[in-house]
Amino acid sequence: MPRFVVVFDTNVLFSAIGWAGTPRRCLDLAQGGAMDAITCEPIMEELAAKLGRKLAFSDRQVLETTLHLMRFMRPVAITGTMTGLCADPKDDMVLECALAASATHVVSGDKKHLLALRQFRGIPIISPAELERVVAPGTP
* pLDDT of 82: 87
Domain boundaries, the chain: 5-135
CATH superfamily of 5-135: 5'-nuclease (3.40.50.1010)
- pLDDT at position 84 is 83
Q: How far is CA 126 from the centre of its chain?
A: 11
Q: What is the pLDDT of residues 88-123, one digit of tens each?
A: 888 999 999 999 999 999 999 988 888 999 999 999
Rounded to an integer, what distance in angstroms lies between the CA atom of residue 113 and that of residue 95?
12
Check residue 119 and report its DSSP letter: E
Residue 136 above 80 pLDDT?
no
pTM: 0.93
Question: For residues 30 and 72, is the Cβ–Cβ distance under 8 A?
Answer: yes
Q: What is the mean pLDDT of the chain?
A: 93
